[in-house]
Amino acid sequence: MNRAQQKLTTREKLFDSAIILFNKQGIKQTKIIDIAQHANVSTGTFYVHFKSKEEIISSIYYEEFNRFMFTKIKSINQNELNLRTYLLKIGVLELKFADEKVGVEITTVAFESNLKTNMTIIGNHSKKRSFSHEIKKTIDRSTSLDSEYKTVVFKEFETIIRGIMMTWCFNNGKENIVDFGTALLNRYLINIK
């Protein structure tokens, strides 16, 4: 394994360990040394990759989320789906990542951290959510929408997904995000073919 692969493997181990420990113990109760030990690396190695718990949480929601979504997007046969069905599948996958992969506490802290960063580095969020560019390309290739409406559909779709996640966070995960989100997405996507 070369150095780049080894670095990526270490980051993934740190991501997985952080997610497990944050969900088991809570973010405040989890120490950086706990994450490093769980990942079988030194604390120094943690700091080579991340400056803080907040940075690993933000990275989980950019790097790990991008990796998850790109893998899932590749498995969807877009040629057999209309745009409405494609967007519904993508939206549900995003909600499942929040619910099944990381949980409400990590999602909430990621929102807070990413909003703060975006206030100082405007556009940071959009640049780091690289899988969203694939969604935009699919919408742009759609022949069922007028060209000027394609950008609106993309922005609305992204806004609805973020809104569903924020509502879930504000309710401390008390409702099923996938059920709640699927119902809202179905209502929004009803007129898209």
> Distance (Å, rounded) from C-alpha 38 to C-alpha 10?
12
Just give the CATH number of 1-50. Answer: 1.10.10.60
Residue 117 sits at the vertex; the CA angle it makes with 15 and 181, to the nearest 5 degrees, is: 65
CB hemisphere CA count around 138 (13 angstroms):
24
- Distance from C-alpha of 64 to C-alpha of 67, rounded to nearest angstrom: 5
**How many Cα atoms occupy the beta-carbon half-sphere of 104 within 13 Å?**
14
- Would you state the pLDDT for residue 148? 84
pLDDT tens digit sequence for 35-72: 999 999 999 999 999 999 999 998 888 888 998 999 99
Residue 80 has pLDDT above 80, yes or no: no
Weakest-pLDDT range from 3-7, 48-52, 113-117, 140-144: 113-117
Amino acid at 100: E
**Token digits of residue 95:** 């909600």
Q: Which of 31, 54, 55 is nearest to 43 (CA)?
A: 31
The phi and psi torsions of 192 (rounded to 5 degrees) equal -100, 135
- pTM here is 0.88
- 22-35 pLDDT per residue, tens: 999 999 999 999 99
State the average pLDDT for the chain.
90
Region for residue 145 given its phi and psi (left: phi exceeds 0; alpha: psi -120 to 50; beta: otherwise): beta
Tokens linked to 157 = 């779709």
CATH 1.10.357 fits 53-189, yes or no: yes
pLDDT of residue 78: 65
Tens of pLDDT, residue by residue over 101-116, are 999 999 999 988 888 8
pLDDT of residue 170: 95
**Residue spans of alpha helices (H) in the chain:** 3-25, 32-38, 43-49, 53-59, 65-75, 83-96, 104-120, 124-128, 131-141, 147-170, 177-189
Parse the chain into domains and list their residue ranges.
Answer: 1-50, 53-189
